[in-house]
């Protein structure tokens, strides 16, 4: 672990630097697969599924029978846990509903804003060792609340041609309309162009490896929106002597086990706390099943000592952490003033894993500094805002002259004329 004491502000950017990604190497592969899927549809998708996942499908859509098997496979204990998490995620996203915002800006000029669902959305759920059924909840629950009428889920099959039963169980529970056994670049390409088996969607959500990330970025060039650019997961904890070193260490390690490129940072105004957390990390690390991964991430982690809360806040705001845990005496100072963070966890009994699974907040969050300019996934991510205006005869008489003058000044005579004709008809 790197311990850094009182770094000067001019060194912050380099201290807080994230690992660079090598997007260029991947781009050619992604473009090739996109072109193939655009041209050959399901034939190309099947080819890449065989190539990358080692299975061939006549029909890649998950059947009702497969879902039935999944439902019977999941333990009652896990079902109850998923049910509790789902209820909390529902509660938190339900309250995010906004009603129509309406105002008469001038007499006779009524303007309003309404949010309407994005009609077709695609959810990508990675395969691999950790079956992210929790992400299914985080994406499908708000999609359903938003009122999206087509919710497509793509996830790669394992070598036997199956998707993890917990993913199927969660998808079915949350009202996903179609589940397709396809992963990687070919899944993103399929949802971008549409094939016979894979519906074309308007927006794609969900995490993935570097290939999926680049594929999502390329999808935006074909008219599809995405939730946000992705990057390795990250956690920053600010702690003073009121924190519990064992808890802080466990949070840092829970982040570190995600991947070797995970970012783990502790900022503290207490040198004693830094030392205590460091030694806790060492002992907790020993017994972790994913020790090999966590160890590498921890080796790159940073324990940063600063003089006071003001400096700490400024440094944290410069970083813009995806997950931000606050374990300090004066937590309100950080809560009220943090400008850039994805999700914030407050106090000694609020581990990051609570937000990952069951507190109700969304765990699809901006990493890689994107907390400066992107929202985490929320109800609005599945909707778009539309505006409406209705102007009465009186209304156009009130604002018509201003429109004519401005249109004229911009050299747009036909814009002016549309108003002039109406004003004249009212003379």
Name the nearest CA neighbour of 244 among 275, 270, 276: 276
Q: Which is nearer to a second copy, 93 or 305 (CB)?
A: 93
Segment 84 to 103, residues that bind a second copy, using CB under 8 A:
84-85, 87-88, 91-92, 95-96, 98, 101-103
State the chain's maximal CA–CA distance in angstroms: 85
Q: Which helix (H) or strand (E) holds 226?
A: strand 225-226
323 is annotated as an active-site residue: yes
Segment 149 to 168, residues that bind a second copy, using CB under 8 A:
166
59 near a second copy, judged by CB under 8 A: no
Query: Which of 220, 242, 270, 300 forms a contact with a second copy (CB under 8 A)?
Result: 220
116 near a second copy, judged by CB under 8 A: yes
Residue 255 marked in a binding site: yes
Question: For residue 84, what are the contacts with CB-CB under 8 A and spacing of at least 6?
Answer: 358
Q: How far apart are CA 218 and CA 229, in angstroms?
A: 11
203 near a second copy, judged by CB under 8 A: yes
Question: For residue 146, what are the contacts with CB-CB under 8 A and spacing of at least 6?
Answer: 117, 118, 379, 382, 383
Q: Could you tell me the two tokens for 249?
A: 């260490």
**Which residue is catalytic, options 66, 323, 363, 404?**
323
71 near a second copy, judged by CB under 8 A: no
Stretch that binds a second copy, among 7-15, 48-56, 205-213, 383-391 (CB under 8 A): 383-391
Q: How far apart are CA 207 and CA 232, in angstroms?
A: 10
Q: How far apart are CA 307 and CA 5, in angstroms?
A: 9
299 near a second copy, judged by CB under 8 A: no
Q: Which is nearer to a second copy, 6 or 336 (CB)?
A: 336
Return the HEC string of 256-323: HCCCCCCEEEEEECCHHHHHHHHHHHHHHHHCCCCHHHHHHHHHCCEEEECCCHHHHHHHHHHHCCCE
322 is annotated as an active-site residue: yes
User: Would you give the binding string for a second copy spanning residues 269-298, x where CB under 8 A is met?
Assistant: ---------------x---xxx---x----
Residue 210 marked in a binding site: no
Residue by residue, DSSP assigns 373-418 as T-PPS-GGGGEEEEEEEEE-HHHHHHHHHHHHHHHHHTT-HHHHHH
Segment 182 to 201, residues that bind a second copy, using CB under 8 A:
none
Residue 254 marked in a binding site: no
300 near a second copy, judged by CB under 8 A: no
177 near a second copy, judged by CB under 8 A: no
To a second copy, the closest distance from the beta carbon of 124 in angstroms equals 16
To a second copy, the closest distance from the beta carbon of 131 in angstroms equals 6
Q: How far apart are CA 20 and CA 14, in angstroms?
A: 12
To a second copy, the closest distance from the beta carbon of 51 in angstroms equals 26
Residue 410 marked in a binding site: yes
Residue 307 marked in a binding site: no
Residue 363 marked in a binding site: no
Q: How far apart are CA 260 and CA 298, in angstroms?
A: 8
To a second copy, the closest distance from the beta carbon of 65 in angstroms equals 23
Residue 233 marked in a binding site: yes
User: Would you give the binding string for a second copy spanning residues 335-374, x where CB under 8 A is met?
Assistant: x--xxxxxxxxxxxxxxxxxxxxxxxxx---x-xxxxxxx
SS3 content of the chain, % helix, strand, coil (to 5): 50, 15, 35
To a second copy, the closest distance from the beta carbon of 56 in angstroms equals 27
Segment 7 to 46, residues that bind a second copy, using CB under 8 A:
23
Q: Which is nearer to a second copy, 51 or 412 (CB)?
A: 412
> Tokens 């160890």 — which residue?
295
1 near a second copy, judged by CB under 8 A: no
Identify the bridge partners of residue 101 per DSSP, sorted by sequence position.
113
Residue by residue, DSSP assigns 147-162 as T-SEEEEEE---TTS-
Q: List the binding residues for substrate.
A: 233, 255, 258, 323, 356, 410, 415
Residues taking part in catalysis: 322-323
């Amino acid at each position: 672990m790197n311990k850094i004491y009182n770094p000067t502000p001019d060194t912050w950017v380099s201290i807080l630097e994230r690992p660079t990604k090598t997007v260029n190497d991947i781009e050619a592969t992604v473009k090739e697969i996109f072109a193939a899927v655009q041209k050959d549809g399901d034939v190309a998708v099947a080819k890449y599924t065989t190539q990358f996942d080692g299975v061939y499908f006549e029909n890649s859509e998950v059947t009702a029978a497969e879902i039935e098997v999944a439902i019977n496979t999941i333990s009652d204990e896990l079902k109850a846990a998923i049910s509790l998490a789902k209820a909390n995620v529902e509660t938190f996203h339900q309250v995010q509903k906004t009603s129509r915002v309406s105002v008469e800006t001038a007499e006779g000029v009524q303007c309003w804003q309404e949010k309407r669902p994005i009609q077709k959305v695609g959810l990508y759920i990675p395969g691999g060792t950790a079956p992210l059924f929790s992400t299914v909840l985080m994406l499908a629950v708000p999609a359903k609340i938003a009122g999206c009428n087509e919710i497509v889920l793509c996830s790669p099959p394992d070598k036997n041609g199956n998707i993890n039963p917990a993913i199927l169980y969660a998808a079915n529970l949350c009202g996903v309309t179609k589940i397709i056994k396809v992963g990687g670049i070919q899944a993103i390409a399929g949802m971008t162009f549409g094939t016979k088996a894979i519906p074309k969607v308007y927006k794609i959500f969900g995490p993935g490896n570097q290939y999926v990330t680049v594929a999502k970025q390329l999808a935006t060039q074909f008219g599809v929106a995405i939730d946000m650019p992705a990057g390795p997961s990250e956690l920053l904890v600010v702690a003073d002597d009121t924190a519990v070193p064992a808890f802080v260490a466990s949070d840092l390690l829970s982040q570190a086990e995600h991947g070797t490129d995970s970012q783990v940072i502790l900022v503290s105004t207490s040198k004693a706390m830094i030392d205590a957390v460091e030694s806790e990390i060492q002992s907790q690390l020993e017994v972790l099943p994913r020790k090999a991964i966590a160890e590498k991430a921890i080796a790159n982690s940073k324990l940063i000592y600063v003089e006071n809360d003001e400096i700490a806040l400024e440094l944290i705001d410069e970083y813009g952490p995806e997950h931000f845990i606050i374990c300090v005496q004066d937590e309100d100072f950080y809560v009220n003033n943090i400008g850039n963070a994805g999700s914030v966890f407050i106090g000694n009994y609020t581990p990051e894993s609570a937000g990952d699974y069951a507190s109700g907040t969304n765990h699809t969050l901006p990493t890689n500094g994107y907390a400066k300019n992107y929202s985490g996934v929320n109800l609005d991510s599945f909707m778009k805002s539309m505006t409406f205006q209705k102007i009465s005869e009186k209304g156009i008489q009130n604002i018509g002259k201003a429109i004519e003058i401005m249109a004229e000044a911009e050299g747009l005579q036909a814009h002016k004329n549309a108003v002039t004709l109406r004003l004249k008809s009212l003379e």
